[in-house]
């Protein structure tokens, strides 16, 4: 059974575009967007990375460096930037809320590893995702998979938070959704200001969670 759902992914993408929160992306022609086309793009990335490393003065004849362009190109396409391809969107089967659950469902401390789109350095943190079921209930692991999908692309944390929120609202057919992300940015820690102690918190909260009592309950449970 496939763990991905491209059709749902394209629906979610259209929803993000309508809200103005989609990642700026090029649209490839079908031959470049096929499996063969993705492999060709990976090979081209490998070639460009080899040129960059050479311009930095690295000797790619050395056995420690020889395969680095290939490894990084594969990592870009198949791992840390795989969320740019909606063919990889996770299968998110929902079930009817037959149990009439009407209280908050909260998934805390979801591992969130992304990449800063300004410097291509890591963003490492955790996401807290909550919703109040309406007609639909979503499997718990699917929330983790949605966080992972949108994290696996060059990002800014504010947009990432909004994308996860919008995708869950669309899939669950409810506005009663909250997303909070706590993360540390390597572009802040290791360059520029070099502040090793700060972190960043972003949130997108809608529906019933905007009421004071529900917001207080959510934050209490997270902490």
Q: Would you please indicate which residues are annotated as catalytic (active-site) residues? A: 116-119, 157, 185, 187
Residue appearing with tokens 């504010």: 158
Give the SS3 label for residue 221: helix
How many CB atoms lie under 10 A from the CB of residue 34?
A: 13
* Interior angle at CA 202, CA 201 and CA 204, nearest 5: 150
The pair of three-digit structure tokens given for residue 217, joined into one six-digit string: 């309950």
With a CB cutoff of 8 Å and minimum separation 6, the contacts of 182 are: 125, 126, 128, 199, 200, 201
H-type helices in 175-211, by residue range?
186-189
With a CB cutoff of 8 Å and minimum separation 6, the contacts of 119 are: 186, 187, 191
Rounded Cα distance between 176 and 207, Å, is: 4
H-type helices in the chain, by residue range?
6-19, 30-33, 35-55, 68-75, 140-151, 157-172, 186-189, 212-222
Give the SS3 label for residue 164: helix
């Amino acid at each position: 059974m496939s763990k991905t759902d491209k059709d749902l992914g394209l629906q979610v993408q259209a929803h993000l575009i309508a809200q103005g929160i989609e990642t700026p992306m090029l649209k490839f022609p079908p031959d470049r967007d096929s499996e063969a086309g993705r492999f060709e793009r990976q090979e081209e990335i490998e070639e460009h990375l080899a040129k960059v490393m050479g311009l930095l003065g690295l000797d790619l004849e050395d056995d420690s460096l020889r395969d680095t362009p290939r490894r990084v190109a594969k990592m870009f396409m198949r791992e840390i930037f795989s969320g740019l391809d909606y063919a990889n969107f996770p299968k998110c089967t929902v079930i009817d809320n037959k149990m009439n659950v009407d209280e908050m469902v909260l998934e805390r401390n979801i591992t969130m590893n992304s990449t800063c789109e300004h410097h291509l350095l890591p963003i490492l943190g955790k996401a807290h995702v909550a919703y109040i079921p309406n007609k639909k209930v979503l499997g718990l692991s699917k929330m983790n998979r949605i966080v992972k999908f949108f994290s696996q692309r060059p990002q800014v944390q504010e947009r990432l938070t909004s994308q996860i929120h919008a995708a869950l609202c669309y899939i669950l057919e409810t506005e009663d959704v909250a997303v909070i992300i706590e993360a540390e940015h390597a572009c802040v820690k290791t360059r520029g200001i070099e502040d090793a102690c700060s972190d960043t918190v972003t949130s997108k909260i809608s529906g019933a969670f905007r009421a004071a009592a529900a917001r207080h309950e959510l934050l209490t449970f997270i902490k």
